[in-house]
Amino acid sequence: EVQLVESGGGLVQPGGSLKLSCSASGFTFNNYWMTWIRQAPGKGLDWVANIRKDGSDKYYADSVKGRFTISRDNAKNSVYLQMDSLRAEDTALYYCAADSSPNQGSAWYTTYDFWGQGTLVTVSS
Amino acid sequence: AIQMTQSPSSLSASVGDRVTITCRASQGIRNDCGWYQQKPGKAPKLLIYAASTLYSGVPSRFSGSGSGTDFTLTISSLQPEDFATYYCLQDYNYPHTFGQGTKLEIK
């Protein structure tokens, strides 16, 4: 059974830090790009960051660039999101998602095949 | 960043109806568009990728079309389990971006 389990969320003050973890099982982790996507309460989906299968490339949303760092440990089947200088607007449910990145000919696409249940981050004083 | 503008933001329909949701990209994105369904309290699920490729296990009443800047998700005959919120996603370049969502409600 495929599982993605996020952890590490909680209440933090503005300017503080938090590190999220996502533990994967039931699929070949190092065959998937991994992505963090968040959703503020009652709002839509917001793409945050992703990391290549071998960790060699990382991409970030403009809103988190320079504050958040994505990393992965393929030996532990885990992906992480280090969040620094947190702001109230970072309050959200944070999902990790696995992307098999299928190709059609020479084109590659994003498919969030598996998702976790999310971990809630609340930034408030 | 590329903006994805979805319309309508909400939609009321009945079981058996045909519905169409659209997404417009702020610049051309070839066919790099996917569609996701989210039900309350649950993680999203992939429906369509590469604009028109049906993801494994997704019912054939769902279809997608479009290229360049304009994309559509069509549900040919609404079923009770289809009432949910739908999001488009562009994966043409980074950062990837979602549309703001379309909430499909029962009439």
Confidence of residue A104 (pLDDT cuts 50, 70, 90): confident
**Residue A113 scores a pLDDT above 90:** yes
Q: CA-based angle A46:A38:B107, to the nearest 5?
A: 70
Give the percent of chain B with pLDDT over 90: 98
CB pair distance less than 8 Å for B97 and A117: no
pLDDT for the residue A103: 83
Q: What is the DSSP string of B85-100?
A: EEEEEE-SSSSPEE--
Reference A59, options B1, B14, B36; nearest CA is B1
Give the pLDDT mean for A94-103: 94
Say how far apart CA B21 and CA A98 lie, in whole Å. 26
Chain A CA closest to residue B53: A104
Q: Is A13 exposed, middle or buried, given 0-12, 13-18 or 19+ CB atoms closer than 10 A?
A: exposed
Say how far apart CA A74 and CA A24 lie, in whole Å. 10
- Option in B43, B46, B99 nearest A111 (CB): B46
The first and second tokens of residue B100, run together, are 């703001």
Say how far apart CA B82 and CA B86 lie, in whole Å. 10
Confidence of residue B53 (pLDDT cuts 50, 70, 90): very high
Q: Does B36 touch chain A (CB under 8 A)?
A: yes
